[in-house]
Amino acid sequence: MIPTGGQIEADELQEVRQPSRTYRLDWNMQRAAGTVDGLEAVKQAVRKILQSERYNFLIYSFDYGMETAGAAGRSPEIAKSELGRCIREALLQDDRISDVTDMQVTVNGDSALATFTVESDFGAFEGGVTVSV
């Protein structure tokens, strides 16, 4: 039997923040070793997001990863604009990240270097990524 008549008062509800602790990825040895939390976990997440092409991996939701196809084969001005938009859109899917600022994109031949500042709940840090355009 399903209970009826129960109510939950708004003042009884509390918002609980989920922990950001996750496995530490050892990029050199290509393995998981230990755990990270806080700012280091966000830095690791940024790196993973920017290395994952959106829609290519069934293990991730369609909100995870970065779309770089929009910048490929375009003029340098369009590539700069698209890459900046794609990075910002990809990183803001993580609820620990509040903003991506100071975006600088430099196109050199068939590659582009993007540098930016990530504002997170745990502090700010500089990030960067190089992609083919």
Work out the number of other CB atoms within 10 angstroms of the CB of residue 104.
12
- 67: which 2 tokens? 């779309």
Please tell me the pTM assigned to this model.
Answer: 0.82
Measured distance CA(58)–CA(62) in Å, rounded: 9
Query: Tens digit of pLDDT for each residue in 70-84?
Result: 667 778 888 888 899
pLDDT of the residue at 81: 87
pLDDT of the residue at 77: 86
- Residue at token pair 């003042």: 11
Query: For residue 127, which of 79, 87, 98 has the smallest C-alpha distance?
Result: 87
Beta strand extents in 13-93 (DSSP E only): 22-26, 31-36
Q: Three-state SS for 76?
A: helix
Query: Tens digit of pLDDT for each residue in 23-75?
Result: 999 999 999 999 999 999 999 999 999 999 998 888 988 999 998 876 677 78
Give the domains, in start order, of the chain with CATH numbers: 20-132 (3.10.450.40)
pLDDT of the residue at 122: 95
